Amino acid sequence: MADTPQRTDRPATDPPATDRPVYVIGGGPGGLSVAYALRARGLRAVVLEKSDRVGASWRRHYDRLRLHTTRRLSALPGLPMPRRFGRWVSRDDVVRYLEKYAEVHDLEIVTGVEVSRVEPSPDGSGWLLRATGGRELTGAAVVVATGHNHTPLIPDWPGRDTYTGEFLHAGQYRNPVPYAGRDVLVVGSGNTGAEIAVDLVEGGAARVRLSVRTTPHIVRRSTAGWASQFTSILVRRLPVRLVDRLARPMARLSVPDLSEQGLPRPDTGLYSRVEQGAIPVLDVGLIDAVRKGRVEIVAAVERFEDGKVHLADGTLVSPDVVIAATGYVRALEDLVGHLGVLDERGKPVVQGARTPADAPGLYFTGFTHPISGNLREIAIDAQKIAKAIAGDRDRGPLVSRLPLT
């Protein structure tokens, strides 16, 4: 039988279409902000979170992590971030903020429930969610907010399965304490890899090498008090080629040439790279560490063999530890892949207030890395999604309303 998760006993029968809530899958920033925006419009939203607390992915991030976007432009709708958090908010403060956000807005959150599949409801008036414990939940609409950093991605390097050295994904890295005095190879030059490399150097690792396949664009997080996020917001609607042209002289003025250290300036435009899904590296110490030789730039990893790592330029290295900062996959295929709503890379074909043509009432948020700041765009999307769902309600009363108080 279908049921609806409550803080009290669940009903024994499937609720009528007019009483069905909007289900929000994921209790991170995206899910919480959508739930708030729906509630603010008088709609009932139920957040389904597979872990035992909100903000699970943020709790797993490494200790030194701070937002690369400013506090004021990272708040979710309906609650500013406290000034005491500082301009660049720490991971722990982000978690505190998410907990407070759920509490202040009295969001309806059910933890320990993982949704495995979303299907059209049998009566065609909404959606059926299959979840842990054999649950079958029916909702008028569904918002998928499971996050971009869902499942660790480890490339299928030859010899990786038989490698005898210590190996971990960046998602398992917490702080540099276990690696003091050791030789560490960090694979991947995105923001995570760059920041972990700096963290290791500052934490006393004997040697830190950063394996780079594609030279990243490096941008100062802030210059003379002007956050790079401000510039990103100003240019994000401009033509890609124009932004590429504007970014080149800015990069030459603010970032030194690191060619001799193995990081030549990229031969593709900054915004062109963003359009392909690669955001710039926001500098939190990498430039200085590379210039001083404390972080050594090496070629891409090709394979593992006999406890050693073979690099693309033919170099053979024997680190004590390999940390793969190789990103994540969205892992949406089992959940919604059968609905024809994902592209060839597993990314939703539409996001925000738009809903797939063949899946009306199914929404996605938080599956991009916008140059203007992920939390900022999540907050904007939340309001748009709530407005779209409220509009659907006005055209046909399928979404449960909150009782008037």
Could you say which of 324, 352, 383 is where a domain stops?
324
Check whether 388 has a pLDDT greater than 90.
Answer: yes
Domains: count for the chain: 2
217 is a domain residue: yes
pLDDT-wise least confident of 198-212, 309-323, 369-383:
369-383
pLDDT at 404: 39
Check whether 18 has a pLDDT greater than 60.
Answer: no
pTM: 0.88
Q: Are residues 157 and 146 part of one domain? A: no
Q: Are residues 168 and 106 part of one domain? A: no
Q: Are residues 174 and 200 part of one domain? A: yes
Check whether 362 has a pLDDT greater than 70.
Answer: yes
Query: Can you give the chain as a three-state secondary structure string?
Result: CCECCCCCCCCCCCCCHHHECEEEECCCHHHHHHHHHHHHCCECEEEEECCCCCCHHHHHCCCCCECCCCCCCCCCCCCCCCHHHCCCCEHHHHHHHHHHHHHHCCCEEEECCCEEEEEECCCCCCEEEEEHHHEEEEECEEEECCCCCCEECCCCCCCHHHCCCEEEEHHHCCCCHHHCCCEEEEECCCHHHHHHHHHHHHCCCCEEEEECCCCCCEEECEECCEEHHHHHHHHCCCCHHHHHHHHHHHHHHHCCCEHHHCECCCCCCHHHHHHCCCCCEEECCHHHHHHCCCEEEECCEEEEECCEEEECCCCEECCCEEEECCCEECCCHHHHHHHCCECCCCCECCCCCCCCCCCCCEEECCCCCCCCCHHHHHHHHHHHHHHHHHHHHHHCCCECECCCC
Could you say which of 306, 324, 342 is where a domain stops?
324
Check residues 304 and 6 and name the one with the higher pLDDT.
Answer: 304
Q: Are residues 160 and 40 part of one domain? A: no
Q: How confident is the model at residue 102 (pLDDT cuts 50, 70, 90)?
A: very high
Q: Are residues 253 and 307 part of one domain? A: yes
Could you say which of 272, 295, 324 is where a domain stops?
324
pLDDT at 75: 97
48 is a domain residue: yes
11 is a domain residue: no
Domain extent for 112: 17-150+330-395
Residue 71's identity, in one-letter code, is R
401 is a domain residue: no
203 is a domain residue: yes
Compute φ and ψ for 22, nearest 5 degrees.
-90, 125
Check residues 245 and 10 and name the one with the higher pLDDT.
Answer: 245
Check whether 10 has a pLDDT greater than 70.
Answer: no
Q: Are residues 88 and 50 part of one domain? A: yes
Q: Are residues 162 and 92 part of one domain? A: no
Q: Are residues 162 and 51 part of one domain? A: no
Q: How confident is the model at residue 394 (pLDDT cuts 50, 70, 90)?
A: low
pLDDT at 149: 73
Check whether 329 has a pLDDT greater than 90.
Answer: no
pLDDT at 277: 76
Tell me the average pLDDT across 46-58. 95
Q: Are residues 162 and 138 part of one domain? A: no
- CA 209 to chain CA centroid, nearest Å: 25
Contacts of 390 (CB under 8 A, 6+ apart): 38, 41, 42, 43, 399
pLDDT at 123: 87
Q: Are residues 371 and 236 part of one domain? A: no
Q: Are residues 83 and 228 part of one domain? A: no
284 is a domain residue: yes
pLDDT at 396: 56
363 is a domain residue: yes
How far separated are the first and last CA of the chain, in Å rounded? 32
Q: Are residues 316 and 190 part of one domain? A: yes
* Domain of residue 79, CATH code: 3.50.50.60
368 is a domain residue: yes
